[in-house]
Amino acid sequence: MVVAAIGESRGQKDDARDAYKLADDVRTGAIKRRVFKDVGQYNRLREPSRTRSMIVRDVVRIQNRLKRLYRSRGIAVSRQSIYSRPAGTRPRGGCPRPCATQPPCCTRSTTR
């Protein structure tokens, strides 16, 4: 990654034109002063954060696909009703947390 120190700008700002100019400068070696930014103390957080962002994006994409599928079949859906379990129910495999004692989530009756 090349981070360049940009000098004074002339004229109107245009992101597409600026990006093209910087890419062309990197390609031709016209950038004389390069700046390296060290990853610093948060380097270990970068990958888990990126992974979480990808998972959140995928979950939202899948939820939108499900909602479109239901709507295309004429099934009315509210904002969260198709993504959450009814109150007081457990996942199909039982309690997701192995517990030595019965916590409140395992003692509720399930309605399926």
pTM, entire model: 0.44
Q: Are 58 and 32 in the same domain?
A: no
Residue 91 maps to a domain? no
Residue 21 maps to a domain? yes
Residue 109 · residue 88 · CB < 8 Å:
yes
Residue 62 maps to a domain? yes
- What's the CA angle centered on 29, arms 24 and 34, to 5 degrees? 100
Q: Are 47 and 63 in the same domain?
A: yes
Range of the domain at 51: 41-77
**Model confidence pLDDT, tens digit, residues 21-30:** 888 888 898 8
**Model confidence pLDDT, tens digit, residues 31-88:** 777 777 777 888 888 889 999 999 999 999 998 898 899 889 998 887 666 676 666 6
Residue 8 maps to a domain? yes
The total domain count for the chain is 2
Residue 60 maps to a domain? yes
- Positive or negative torsion for Cα 94, 97, 102, 107: negative
Q: Are 46 and 66 in the same domain?
A: yes
Residue 94 maps to a domain? no
